[in-house]
Structure 1
Amino acid sequence: MIHLLKEVGRGKRGARDLTYEEALQAAASILGAEATPAQIGAFFIAERIKMESVEELEAFVKVSREYADRSFLHEGIDCAGPYDGRKSSFFSTLATAFVLAAADLPVTLHGTPSLPPKWGITLSDILAAKGITGPALAKDACIRAAKRTGVLYVDAEEWCPPLKHLRPIREELGMRTVLNTAEKFVDYSHSPYITFGVYHNTVFDRLSRLIMKLDYRKAIIIQGSEGSDELFIHRPTRTYRIENGKASLQIIDPEAYGLDVPVPEIGWTPSEQADATAEVLLGKGDLAFIYQVLLNGAVRLQLADKVRSVEEGIYTCKALLDSRRPWELYSNWLSLLIESTANGDAVSPMVRHASQ
C-alpha cells in the first residue's frame, strides 16, 4: 500500500492516476482490511485532492462487488441516490419505487445510516421512523418482501460488509471519498438500468465513461436535488443519458409537461418524510410532491422501455396512483418487513396506521 500512496499522494502536480491493476491492489487492500487505518485515510484524502480516475473508480466498484452479496432477484432498475442523505428536499424515490413496481418495473433501493459530508436523512432513517430496523432489514426479510412487491431495499453495510468496517474512518474524515461513488454502483440485483445522482455536472463525462465500462443496458445520470437521482419539479434538471455506448446531455424541464410548481420549504424529519410518502401514494400529498413522483416515475419507465415517451409515462403513473395499487404495494411491503422481526411482535402502531 505504501508504494501506491507515494504515487497518489505527491500533491496536485506530482500525483498521478493509478493504473487499473494498481487501483485493484489499492481497493483490495482497503476493502480487505489489509491496509492500516492511517494508510486508508491517507489514500482517501490523496484521491480526493487528485480526483479519482475512471480506472480507479472501476477498480473500487469491481472489488466492492466481489465482497457484496449480489442476487439475481429481479431484472429492473437500480435507484442510486446519495448515501449521505437529504436535508431540504422530499425523498421522492421511495414513493416512486412503488409506482414503478405497480407498472411491472422492479426496483432496487439501497443505502445506509447517514454518512459525511452531508449527514442528511437517509432511506434507513425513514424506514426507522416506520418501526423498521434491525431484523426487519435482514437480507432474507428484504428479499421476501421484494418477491411479493417488486421493491428490494438493501442495507448496504450488511450486504457489503467492508462498507461497515470502513464507516469509522469515513466518519472521522468527514468528507467524500472514492467510496461515495463506488458504493452506489455495487448493483445488488444485477439491474440492467440505473439512475445515478450527482452534485456537479463536471463529473458527467467521467461517470458516463465509467457506466459504459460497467455494462448497464441503459443509464441516466441526474444532477438532482441535493445530489440525488431525482429530477427537480420547480426548474429544469441536467441529465446525461447513456445507451448503446454513447452519452448525451438532456435537459428535462417540468414546464414542458405542465408539472412545474413551487416546492414548499420544509425542515424535514424522518417521520415527515415517511408521512409525505404515504400521502403521495394516497393521492393526498402536496401537489409538488405528487408531480415529482409522476415525473421521476415517467422518466424511469421510459428509460426501461416500459413506455414510449415521458408524456406516456406521466399518464401511466397518474393512472397507477389513482388506482391505489402503489399504495397497496407499499403497505404490504411495510407489513412484510415488520413481520420479519425475530421476536414475532405484532405490527407496530405506525405501520398499522400506514396500512389502514
Structure 2
Amino acid sequence: MSNTFREYLKKIGSGTHTGKDLTRTEAADAAKLMLLGEATPAQIGAFLIAHRIKRPTAAELAGILDTYDEVGPKIPTNDVSFDYPVTVLGTPYDGRSRTVPVTPITALILATAGVPVVMHGGDRMGTKYGLPMVEIWQGLGIDFTQFSLTQVTELLAKTGLTFVYVPRHFPLINPVISYRNEIGKRPPLASIELIWSPCSGDVHTMVGFVHPPTEMFFKETFELRGVKQFTTIKGLEGSCDLPLSRTAIIGLAEPDLKLPWERLLLHPKDYGFGNKDIALDSETKVIEQLQGIINGESNELISSVIYNGGFYLWRCGVCADLKTGFEQAETLLNDQKVSLKLQEIINFTNS
C-alpha cells in the first residue's frame, strides 16, 4: 500500500465540505503511483470513483498529462520535416456504438493532402465497448497492433499517417483500463485519452467532447501546459467527427488568431449538406461503407465524409476557406488519391 497515495485519496474523497483538489504536482504523482502499480487495486478503484464524483480540475488534468509525458511513449515528430504541423486526432477509447465513424477517412484525406496525422487508442473497453478505431483500420487492411513504436514512427515519416496502439506501446495504462471496465464508469482518465499527445514535438491536437464543461476543462488544461494550437469539437459520441444533425460547436486556438481562442458555429445546411448522421447498424456494413467511399463510390456516408474532410483541410491550413476545403476533399476522393494513399500505407506496412 502507498501511504502517499492514501493521502491523495483522502484529500479528494472527503466529501463536499472537507474535500480538496489536488495540486498539479500531486496529480502527477498520483498518476505515476497508479501507472507504476505502487498504489493498491483498492486504492486505485477508490481514487477513480472519488475523482469522478468530485470532478477534475484543469490543474489535475495537466498533472496527469505531465506523468503521461514522463512515462509514456513518444514519437519524435521534431525529427521529421513536414509541410504542416502534425495533427493528433483524439478519439474516445471506448469506441463508437450509435453513429458511423468517418475519422479514418478524415485522417486519410489529411495525409493525402500532406498533413501528417497521429491517432491513438486500443481495443474494446468500457463503458461503451463500442467499435474502436484499431478494428476499423484492420477492416481497411492495416493492422496497427503488430508494429513496434519504432515502426510506428517510421510509418509516420514515410506515409504521413500512423497509429499508437496503447496496449502495446503504452502498457503501463493497461491495468488502469481494467479498473475502468470493472467500476462501470468513465473516470477522468478517459478525458486524458482525448487530450494526450503521444508526440515529443509541437502538434495540433483535435479534441472531441460531449458536455460543455469538458470543453472549458480542456481549454484551461492546454493553457496550463502552454499548448498554443488546438481545436475542440462537440462531435459525435465525443469524437472529432462533425455532426450533420446539428450545429457544430468548435473552439479554435492558435497563435495567429486575433484572439487566443475563438468560437466557430458551423451549420452544415449553410454549405448544402444534409441533416442526418448515419446510424451504426452493422459493424461489417461500416467497413463496407468506408471502403466504398475510399474507392470513389457514393453512399449515404458521402456527405459526412466531405463535410469532415473539408473542415479539417481548412483547419489544418491546406485550404484558405471552408468551401475550397469541401471541394478539395471531394476531388481527392473522386480522383482516387485517397485510395492510393491507403494502398501506399498498406504496401509499406506489408513490407
TM-score, normalization: structure 2?
0.89
2:331 corresponds to: 319
The reply to whether residue 63 of structure 1 matches residue 67 of structure 2 is: yes
Q: CA deviation at 1:150?
A: 0.9
RMSD between aligned alpha carbons? 2.0
The reply to whether residue 278 of structure 1 matches residue 288 of structure 2 is: no
Secondary structure of the residue that 1:89 maps to in structure 2?
A: coil
Q: Is the 8 A contact 2:92 2:193 kept in 1?
A: no
Q: Is the 8 A contact 2:313 2:329 kept in 1?
A: no
Cα distance in 2 between the residues matched to 1:7 and 1:99: 47
2:198 corresponds to: 188
Secondary structure of the residue that 2:231 maps to in structure 1?
A: strand
1:291 corresponds to: 303
Cα distance in 2 between the residues matched to 1:219 and 1:28: 26
Choose which of 45, 48, 53 in structure 1 pairs with 2:52. 48
Q: CA deviation at 1:191?
A: 4.8
Q: Is the 8 A contact 1:222 1:240 kept in 2?
A: yes
Choose which of 81, 91, 108 in structure 1 pairs with 2:118. 108
Q: Is the 8 A contact 1:89 1:225 kept in 2?
A: yes
Using a 3 Å threshold, how does the CA distance of structure 1 residues 216 and 306 change in structure 2: closer, same or farther?
Answer: farther
Using a 3 Å threshold, how does the CA distance of structure 1 residues 334 and 214 change in structure 2: closer, same or farther?
Answer: farther
1:197-236 equivalences in 2 (<5 Å) = 197-236=208-247
Cα distance in 2 between the residues matched to 1:13 and 1:117: 30
Give per-residue Cα distances to partners, 1:89-137, cap 9 Å, x unaligned: 1211101111111111111111111222211100122234456547634
Choose which of 133, 138, 145 in structure 2 pairs with 1:123. 133
Q: CA deviation at 1:13?
A: 3.3
Cα distance in 2 between the residues matched to 1:230 and 1:178: 21
Task: Identify the range of structure 1 (200-209 vs 124-133) with the bigger mean alpha-carbon deviation.
Answer: 124-133
Secondary structure of the residue that 1:284 maps to in structure 2?
A: coil
Using a 3 Å threshold, how does the CA distance of structure 1 residues 301 and 85 change in structure 2: closer, same or farther?
Answer: same
1:343 corresponds to: none
Cα distance in 2 between the residues matched to 1:266 and 1:171: 23
Cα distance in 2 between the residues matched to 1:321 and 1:133: 23
The reply to whether residue 21 of structure 1 matches residue 25 of structure 2 is: yes
- Structure 1, unaligned runs of 5 or more: 341-356
Choose which of 252, 255, 272 in structure 1 pairs with 2:269. 255
Give per-residue Cα distances to partners, 1:155-210, cap 9 Å, x unaligned: 02322221123222121112111221113333123352111011111222121111
Q: Is the 8 A contact 1:87 1:268 kept in 2?
A: no
Cα distance in 1 between the residues matched to 2:91 and 2:196: 13
Secondary structure of the residue that 2:89 maps to in structure 1?
A: strand
Q: Which amino acid aligns with 1:43?
A: F
Q: Which amino acid aligns with 1:92?
A: V
1:83 corresponds to: 93
Cα distance in 1 between the residues matched to 2:303 and 2:7: 52
Cα distance in 2 between the residues matched to 1:104 and 1:130: 20
Secondary structure of the residue that 1:14 maps to in structure 2?
A: coil
Using a 3 Å threshold, how does the CA distance of structure 1 residues 130 and 136 change in structure 2: closer, same or farther?
Answer: farther
Q: Is the 8 A contact 1:240 1:247 kept in 2?
A: yes
Q: Is the 8 A contact 1:129 1:274 kept in 2?
A: yes
Using a 3 Å threshold, how does the CA distance of structure 1 residues 147 and 179 change in structure 2: closer, same or farther?
Answer: same
Q: CA deviation at 1:276?
A: 1.7
Cα distance in 2 between the residues matched to 1:131 and 1:303: 28
Q: Is the 8 A contact 1:64 1:160 kept in 2?
A: no
Aligned length: 337
Which structure is higher in RCO with an 8 Å CA cutoff and minimum separation 6? 1
Give per-residue Cα distances to partners, 1:305-324, cap 9 Å, x unaligned: 22221112111212211221
Using a 3 Å threshold, how does the CA distance of structure 1 residues 274 and 47 change in structure 2: closer, same or farther?
Answer: same
2:312 corresponds to: 300
Cα distance in 2 between the residues matched to 1:44 and 1:17: 14
Give per-residue Cα distances to partners, 1:5-51, cap 9 Å, x unaligned: 11100123332111112112211211221111111111111100000
Cα distance in 2 between the residues matched to 1:51 and 1:192: 27
The reply to whether residue 95 of structure 1 matches residue 108 of structure 2 is: no
- Structure 2, unaligned runs of 5 or more: none
Using a 3 Å threshold, how does the CA distance of structure 1 residues 85 and 266 change in structure 2: closer, same or farther?
Answer: closer
Identity of aligned residues (%): 25
TM-score, normalization: structure 1?
0.88
Q: CA deviation at 1:149?
A: 1.9
Choose which of 169, 183, 197 in structure 2 pairs with 1:159. 169
